[in-house]
Copies of this chain bind each other. A is one copy, B any other.
Amino acid sequence: MSIYLHDIPLTEAKSRFQQELKNAGLWGVLGQEEIPLDEKAAGRVLAESVWARISSPHYHASAMDGFAIRAENSLGAAPSNPVQLRYEEQAVYVDTGDPLPQWANAVIPIENVEPLDDTGHISTEPRHPYSIRIRAAITPWSHVRPMGEDIVATELVIPAGQTLRPVDLGALAASGQTSLKVARVPRVAILPTGTELVPIGSDLKAGDIIEFNSVVLGAQVNQWGGKADRFPITIDNFDAICQRVEEAARDHDLILLNAGSSAGSEDFSVHVTEKLGTVLVHGVAVRPGHPVILGMITRKDNSKIPIIGVPGYPVSAALTGEIFVQPLLTLWLGRKDPSQEPVITAKITRKVNSPQGDDDFMRVAVGRVNGQVLAAPLAKGAGMINTLVHADGIALVPRGIQGLEAGDDVQVKLYRSLKEIDQTIFAIGSHDLTLDILAQFLAQRERRLVSVNVGSQGGLVALRRGEAHFAGSHLLDPETGVYNKSYINQYLPDTPVSVFNWVGREQGLIVQKGNPKNILSLKDLERSDISYVNRQRGSGTRVLLDYQLGKLGLSAERISGYAQEEYTHLAVAAAVKSGRADCGMGITAAANALELDFIPLYTEQYQLVIPNTVLENHLLDPLFDLTQDPEFKKAVLKLPGYTVSDMGRLVEQ
């Protein structure tokens, strides 16, 4: 622990790095190479501005099939006053694109010409007549593409730094180029290190971590115009890592040393960098991802190569790519037009806390409800790559701000197009497995379902705030035995909504395979040898549990693990599967998914609550179509414990 990381602000980290890169002569385009002008040049970055060598067209070209003439010779021609021109001397047939004879200055389209033979009759060889007769005058340069119409020799065709698009290649060819000077592709070595890492495809035992950061970083590097070289996994051994870094330094332009960037006992990155060069920064005040190392490695010939110590948590690794690697590749390629994700302003859907000293890059789901763009924060864990997959964008809570209140404006860098955002159905509420299947089917119908799981009551609150297109809910009224109605009256007194049946589903206890502890009813939860995993407060399942505990006269306090909360049925099942708990309440499908046993106890209605304002537009049409779609119902019924007979029926308005 001799060196402990010390977070510095992002701007300072970047400026230290920039200064060292400048000193090393690496602050600009790395180099250029000449490549043939063909379709494979697309996506490369032009290293020098290109000026036209020739004009396009490079001669006066006919723009029609017809006869090249001198316009002066057509003077006076009119329907009642035809003018006759002798072939070869005064008129020559030209196809579109053919050059005009020196003496000609206009083309008369073939359909406006009467070709004649030597007897004055219509010629049988319309393209080689004896003469032609015309009945309208034309002006000089009619139906001619004059030389240089498109491009004039010496004009600027494409400026340096442009990433070449297909049409750019056309213009470059038209202007007489035959090869192109483009920026050399930066070579990036990606070095996964860690004794606990195993390659994709390995048999796994507890403690093994599948090494996929190098795949993510590699794909990022390639996407940003570099060439990624993935190295094999190196174990946590100082000398072995030193050797790898030296090897990589030989023929690359940048080294990404993944994991071991923190200050733990087996975190060698900073020591390796110190030994082989200089550590510029150890720790950047960004979240997630703060244990970043920026340094320079010195090669045998005294030249330098930058090294980035990338944190091991996958979200940190991917964001380190975006924050440090992408700008460096853009610089080295001289790209003047890096593809930029659009940035929009959105309303944050719930209060979030951020460390005041950090730039906090927050993953968010984005949707538009009632014309308002909303950003719902996703889980923060840096280990959760899946949250980055589900993120529609990244919202920055800048350094100096301690957090945001629900409803505050936030800037979001979008990973999706605005069009996709507008096709997004934003569901906040109770989780159900059928929503995953719905998402799949909607994806075939130009809709994207984003479901944020906050439990049934949380969903109704979101509807009241106008922050969701629908909420899945299964809140049992203990008084009436009716689902949702009384809660809607309570939570949504001023929001007209309609309620539709979605699925019926079995609720019960998820237990270990073979039910080794012989759990048969809720009464067993009070047993001292039984540990329970609960759903969070406000979820329909929790309401059902508390209702049934009350009915049975059981006490929550006597249930070991009652305070352990999970947010989805599958998370409860996973807790049981892993042995963290002996049982938890949930649905049949979750038990089956993880091959656990299930004790059925109750059947409940899972309903969709939809604001009437949302029903008025067409966003949800595909969802209602699906309630009548046998294929969709078949897919739902593959999940055990579900009924769909009443799907889509309006039960409340």
Contact = CB atoms under 8 A, between A and B. Distances in A.
For this chain, the copies found in one complex come to: 2
A157 B570 contact: no
Contacts of A174: 210, 212, 314, 385-386
Interface string A22-59: 00000000000000011111110000010000111111
Nearest to A201: B178
Nearest to A575: B146
Across chains A and B, which 7 residue pairs bring their CB atoms closest together, nearest first?
Answer: A39-B218, A148-B574, A173-B212, A166-B219, A42-B219, A99-B206, A154-B593
Contacts of A170: 212-213, 215-216, 314, 318, 385, 388-389
B65 A169 contact: no
Interface string A368-396: 00000000000001011111110000000
Which residue, A212, A264, A387, A417, has most C-beta atoms of chain B within 10 A?
Answer: A212
A577 interface: yes
Interface stretch (A436-444, A481-489, A514-522, A549-557): A436-444
B152 A573 contact: yes
Given A318-B167, A440-B160, A145 B215 contact: no
A316 to B, nearest CB: 12
A382 B222 CA distance: 35
7 contacts: A37-B215, A150-B383, A155-B570, A159-B439, A166-B215, A170-B388, A336-B444
Nearest to A168: B389
Majority-rule SS of A interface residues = loop
A321 B170 CA distance: 14
B580 A386 contact: no
A57 B158 CA distance: 50
Contact of A154 (B38, B418, B420, B594): B594
Interface stretch (A10-18, A337-345, A466-474, A619-627): A337-345
Contact of A59 (B206, B215, B564): B206
A209 B97 contact: yes
A217 B577 CA distance: 54
B145 A381 contact: yes
A151 interface: yes
B150 A385 contact: yes
Contacts of A222: 39-40, 42
Contacts of A173: 200, 210, 212, 215
Contacts of A65: 264-265
A436 to B, nearest CB: 4
Contacts of A230: 38-39
A178 B211 CA distance: 12
A571 B148 contact: yes
A334 to B, nearest CB: 9
A290 interface: no
Contacts of A650: none
